[in-house]
Amino acid sequence: MKRAFTLIELLVVIAIIAILAAILFPVFAQAREKAREITCVSNAKELGTSMMMYTQDYDELYPLAVTWGNPWSDWSDTIQPYMKSWDIMYCPSGGPRMIASWSQPQYEWWANWRWFVQYGFNADYLNNDPNCSTTGQNNHAFGLPTSLAAVQSPAATVCLAEDGQDAPDDGVGTSLVYSPATQTAPDDCSGGGWGTNGGLWYPAGSGNTTMGFFKPRHNEMGTVLMCDGHAKVFTPGQLAAGTNWHPGMSYTSVIITDESQYLWSLNK
């Protein structure tokens, strides 16, 4: 005669299964995110190869971040002929691609879905204008294109970083990522920034910590492509190395404390 499980035995088995699930599910989620991270890093490396191919064809100059005009264009459009697929502009952990369907009139000029990529260009320095004299002139939004030779430490200088472009949660499209100390660095002319209470696109007092649009999608880390073509993931703190940045501080208070560790500028 077979003995049936008692209610207590069944409850013990269910409890054990629940405990194992609680332990393993986060591990599975982290493993899945790690796989997506690997794909994201691979995408960034391909973008780096495309960027280098472009510079070899154009006098070793980086592309313009954004070009005013009709049609408008940006760096992602510029290097597109060197890419195998437009899909590498998007992270597998990113949300749906933004499309041109906004209702805010002030953003209609930016409403081109091809620009809403998930990797941002370090326009503050790769379109460098140390004297802020050419910014916004001659149909470009930042300074003049930086040459490869001007980047003194390519392995320690940001070229691209994952940016916040996950529809519908991120309300504004961008293909740029801003350096942490934009408001205080003497060689930075942009209006973006890392920190609360302002910064490009965010109204004062909004409470958003923008991190310059940097988006740490992978277990609180985000993919970064350096100017020498290698890519890896960084935490926000690591990407803000050489500054006093910390979550919650005002973007106007972020300063460079150690330029040799600052991963954004050309001089190290």
Burial of 230 per CB tally in 10 Å (0-12, 13-18, 19+): middle
**Structure confidence at residue 101 (pLDDT):** 43
**Which structural domain, as residue segments, surrounds residue 157?**
7-261
- Could you read off the pLDDT of 156-184 as tens digits, one per residue? 999 999 987 654 455 555 788 989 998 88
How confident is the model at residue 8, as a pLDDT?
75
**Count of beta carbons in the 10 Å neighbourhood of residue 211:** 25
Positive or negative, the CA dihedral 244, 245, 247, 253 is positive
Flag whether pLDDT at 33 surpasses 90.
no
Q: What is the C-alpha radius of gyration for the chain, rounded to an integer number of angstroms?
A: 22
Q: What is the pLDDT of residue 41?
A: 97
Over the chain, what is the mean pLDDT?
81
Q: What is the pLDDT of residues 45-70, one digit of tens each?
A: 999 999 999 999 999 999 998 877 66
pLDDT confidence of residue 106: 46
Token pair of 268, please?
Answer: 């190290």
Taking 3-state DSSP, the helix, strand and coil percentages for the chain, each rounded to the nearest 5, stand at: 35, 10, 50
Which is higher by pLDDT, 17 or 260?
A: 260
Mean pLDDT of 215-237: 95
Domain-embedded: residue 267:
no
Domain for residue 257, yes or no? yes
Looking at per-residue confidence, does 180 or 73 come out higher? Answer: 180
266 in any annotated domain:
no
User: 86-110: b or e for each residue (b if 16 or more CB lie within 10 Å)?
Assistant: eebbbbbbbbebbeeeeeeeeeeeb
Residue 176: what pLDDT?
Answer: 86
- Residue 254 confidence (pLDDT): 93
pLDDT in tens, 245-258: 998 888 889 999 99
- Using one digit for the tens of pLDDT, what is the confidence trace for 114-160? 557 889 999 999 998 777 766 656 566 788 899 999 999 999 999 99
- The reported pLDDT for the residue numbered 88 is 93
pLDDT of residue 14: 81
State residue 190's pLDDT score: 77
Lowest pLDDT segment from 31-45, 156-170, 229-243: 156-170
| Band (102; pLDDT cuts 50, 70, 90) | very low
The structure's pTM equals 0.81
Domain count of the fold of the chain: 1
